[in-house]
Amino acid sequence: MNLLLTGASGFLGKIISQSLAGHDIQTLGRDDNSTYKCDLAKGIPAFDKTFNIVIHSAGKAHSVPATEEEKLDFYNVNVTGTKNLLEGLENAPALPGSFVFISSVAVYGLETGNNVNEDTPLLAKDPYGDSKIQAEILIHDWCLRNNVTCTVLRLPLTAGPNPPGNLEAMIKGIKSGYYFNISGGKARKSIVLAQDVSAIIPVAARVGGVYNLTDGYHPSFKELSAVIAKQLNKKPPLNLPGYLAKTIAFAGNIIGDKAPLNSNKLKKITSDLTFDDTKARNLLGWKSAKVLEAFRIS
């Protein structure tokens, strides 16, 4: 198949590119190694080929905006960038057969919950989650108008070699010895292997639909940190009792979001947040490895 992949130089994009190496992959990005060099936030790409599948993995994530300009950057990249990509595809020799969008469970806007499914309202108000909602709407409407099969994959924390974001922060914290589990690290979070996500894309592209993808187990912080510590030849992280964490969080409230711990962050860390991927298992034949067994940090 002839594929177009955006965000090929990113964490997940690299793994997708490797996983689908048997196909003819064209890439779109800001770097000189891209087949089509274009900053989607600023311009409309010009395509001279037709693609069987477009995989839109490019986007802005893994940062907390501190200024209005940084907030706007999420919309420039995730919304305007998507709009420009779709316009570029309209000007290609022919439209693609399928469009796969790499979205996020952040669209639900939840800080706590168990087995959240795809029918849950999209309530995100933060720049990242809201920009992903807007991008999903743009893609869904465009695919409907143009008779293109639309697939949206909503991912939780994604594991793989040298991961970014919260998983990167946990690895660095355990490596340097300043990571602690709080209240026993009992809170469970959904997570998925990047390699498994990559492998399901050709199937999902044929079927279409909106899907949560997880490893089906949803490990606790204690379990995940123990696996990482073992790979780093470190002792399992120590536990910070709940009462002490609350005291530190109370002090952190005075500092605000820049504090290592405040009441809002403490609530997130100590609350379950898991997602249901039954739909993907039933309709796509989604099978996933347990992250605790298959995750390698490098």
- 279 pLDDT exceeds 90? yes
Cα(241)–Cα(14) distance, rounded to whole angstroms? Answer: 39
- CB count within 10 Å of CB 289 equals 16
Cα(91)–Cα(9) distance, rounded to whole angstroms? Answer: 25
Task: Please compute, for residue 6, the number of CA atoms within 13 A of its CA located in the half-sphere on the CB side.
Answer: 26
- 262 pLDDT exceeds 90? no
pTM of the model: 0.95
What would the two tokens of residue 151 be?
A: 């697939």
36-46: average pLDDT: 97
In three-state secondary structure terms, 71 is helix
- 260 pLDDT exceeds 80? no
**H/E run at residue 158:** strand 157-159
84-106: average pLDDT: 98
Over residues 139-152, the pLDDT tens digits come to 999 999 999 999 99
Pair 82, 135: CB distance under 8 Å: yes
Give the pLDDT band of residue 297 (cuts 50, 70, 90). very high
